[in-house]
Structures are given as C-alpha cells and as structure tokens.
C-alpha cells in the first residue's frame, strides 16, 4: 500500500491525495506512488473523473531537493525517466482530470498539476518553476507542458526568472482555469469532475487522446488521429445508445454504460 499517495473514490469521482507533510515534497517514493495510483485510477471502472489534491494548506512545494542534492550525473541520468514519469503520471489517465490547488504548487508540484486537464486554484495560490534558482531547469515535464499551455514567451519568463505567479496572474495567462476561495477549491473541483459521472467515458477518452496527441504533431497527422478515434467509437455501446436516444428523445437524455 502506498504511504504518501492514495486514491479515494466516491460517487464516481476518484481523488488522488498527496500527503507527505509538511509540504508534500515529491521524493522518488512519491513519484513511484503517483504512477501506481494513476494506473489504479485508469483501471477502475468506478472512477469516471479524477481530482488530484494536496490538502487545504499546500498542493506540493516541489521535488525533494535534499534527496537530489547528493546525486551524481550518472545517478540522475538513470533516474530522470522515472522522475518524468512520476511527475507526469496524471497526464496518462484517460479520464477527465482536475488539479485542486491551495497554497504552493512549485517545481515538481506544478509539473504534477500541468498533467491535469484543468486547474482550479485558491486565491492564495502561488505557482512557479523556480529550478533555475538551484542551477537546473524543470525536469518533470515543466519546460514542455508549460510552453504548450501558456506559450513559449510566458513559459520562458517563468522558467528563466523562477518567479512565483499569483492566482489572478495565473488565470490571466491561462496557467489556471478557475480561482475560488481556498476553502472552496476541493468543492469546485468535485463540481467540475461530477459533470462526467455517467457520461460517455470512451468518447471522453477518445476526445482527450485526440487533443493531446494532435498537439504533439502537425495538422494533417492530427486530423488522421481524429479520424481513427472518431470511427473507433462506432464500435461502442455508448455510441449506439447516444444516437438512438438523440433520435427518439433529443439531446442530453442518453443513459450511457461506459462500454
């Protein structure tokens, strides 16, 4: 059983809890547990949407610098693939995902949140990638996901300076999607995730894959990915249910099975 990362499921929503006090530092054990829990959330049929949450005070204040400080070049060369996989684990879940952020989401913490489909933050949130202040760069996907999300110029400003971004600025540059009071962050995340409970899960997975994979290639290849995934949904029960319900009852009344 994982020590610092857990998955709790209720009403079709899975919550991935980060719990390594005091600041949820993401050491190698936590990185491995994130991968395990992401696989569990992917596998479980009773999980239809996922929240990742660090608690009421902090999301995660980065990787464990004490652990990394003594590592050699060879040791980090051997470990970096696992670090990227752990901090990017949320991005592998083929279901709607939302990061619920209070307090700090820095370095590896922000990289975890960047793997989610949506980010909801408290108005006390501070986000950043301060690795440059340690003489390194973001290594858990930050240089890539951040630039894709907010554009290269803004990403370079954050990476080059290592500065912290407050909630309102984060909203204005597209780094986060919603700002609420800190004690409403988790509830707001559940409200968003709850929209997908009982939805056409295979179609959601296809939509997510089409967007994410298409962003990594040219338009022509992206359209080919879309064609394949669109056609594949005609092999699902939900497609038949959805279209039959639309013809007979109009939109928005289908009762999907997730198959």
CATH number assigned to the domain covering 201-249: 1.10.12
Report helix, strand or coil for 52.
strand
Count Cβ neighbours within 10 Å for each residue of 97-124 and write b for 16 or more, e otherwise.
bbbbbbbbbbbbbbbbbbbbbbbbbbeb
- Residues annotated as part of the active site: 111, 131
Instruction: Write down the domain spans for the chain.
Output: 5-194, 201-249
**Omega of the bond prior to 22 within 30 degrees of 0, cis?**
yes
The per-residue pLDDT for 63 is: 87
State the helix-helix crossing angle for 152-161 and 142-150, rounded to 10 degrees.
140
Q: Rounded to whole angstroms, how far apart are CA atoms 76 and 71?
A: 6
Give the helix/strand (H/E) hosting 179.
strand 178-180
Alpha-carbon torsion (235, 239, 241, 243), positive or negative: negative
Question: Given its phi and psi angles, is residue 19 left (phi above 0), alpha (psi -120 to 50 degrees) or beta?
Answer: beta
Task: Tell me what pLDDT residue 2 has.
Answer: 82
Q: CA-to-CA distance for 153 and 169, rounded, in angstroms?
A: 15
Nearest to 213 by CA among 85, 94, 76, 37: 94
Report the distance separating Cα 90 and Cα 30, nearest Å. 13
Q: Give the CA count within 13 Å in the CB-facing half-sphere of 41.
A: 32
165, β-bridge pairs: 127
Q: What is the pLDDT of residue 192?
A: 98
- Angle, CA 181 vertex, CA 177 and CA 185 arms, to 5°: 60
**Measured between alpha carbons, how far is 140 from 251 in angstroms, rounded to an integer?**
41
The angle subtended at Cα 232 by Cα 246 and Cα 99, nearest 5°, is: 80
Q: Quick one: fold of 5-194? A: 2-enoyl-CoA Hydratase; Chain A, domain 1 (3.90.226)
pLDDT tens figures, 17-39? 999 999 999 999 999 999 999 99
Quote the Cα angle for 242-245-251, to 5°: 80
Question: 210, 223 in Cβ contact below 8 A?
Answer: no
Question: Which stretches of the chain score pLDDT less than 50?
Answer: none
Tens-place pLDDT, residues 89-109: 999 999 999 999 999 999 999
Closest residue by Cα to residue 94 from 42, 17, 36: 42
Quote the longest CA-to-CA distance of the chain.
66
Give the pLDDT score at 250.
93
pLDDT at 44: 97
């Amino acid at each position: 059983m994982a020590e610092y990362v857990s998955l709790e499921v209720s009403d079709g929503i899975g919550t991935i809890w980060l719990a390594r006090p005091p600041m949820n530092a993401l050491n190698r054990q936590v990185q491995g547990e994130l991968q395990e829990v992401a696989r569990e959330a992917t596998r479980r049929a009773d999980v239809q949407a996922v929240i990742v949450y660090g608690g009421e005070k902090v999301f995660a204040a980065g990787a464990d610098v004490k652990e990394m400080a003594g590592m050699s070049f060879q040791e980090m060369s051997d470990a970096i693939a696992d670090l990227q996989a752990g901090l990017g684990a949320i991005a592998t879940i083929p279901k709607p995902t939302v990061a619920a952020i209070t307090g700090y989401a820095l370095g590896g913490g922000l990289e975890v949140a960047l793997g989610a489909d949506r980010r909801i933050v408290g108005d006390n949130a501070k986000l950043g990638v301060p690795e440059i202040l340690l003489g390194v760069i973001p290594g858990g996907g930050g240089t890539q996901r951040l630039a894709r999300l907010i554009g290269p110029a803004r990403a370079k400003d954050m990476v080059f300076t290592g500065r912290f971004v407050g909630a309102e600025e984060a909203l204005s540059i597209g780094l986060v999607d919603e700002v609420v009071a800190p004690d409403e962050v988790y509830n707001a995340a559940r409200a968003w995730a709850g929209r997908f409970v009982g939805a056409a899960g295979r179609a959601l997975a296809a939509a997510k894959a089409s967007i994410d994979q298409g962003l990594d290639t040219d338009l022509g290849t992206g359209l080919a990915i879309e064609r394949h995934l669109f056609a594949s949904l005609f092999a699902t029960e939900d497609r038949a249910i959805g279209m039959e319900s639309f013809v007979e009852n109009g939109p928005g009344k289908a009762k999907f099975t997730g198959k």
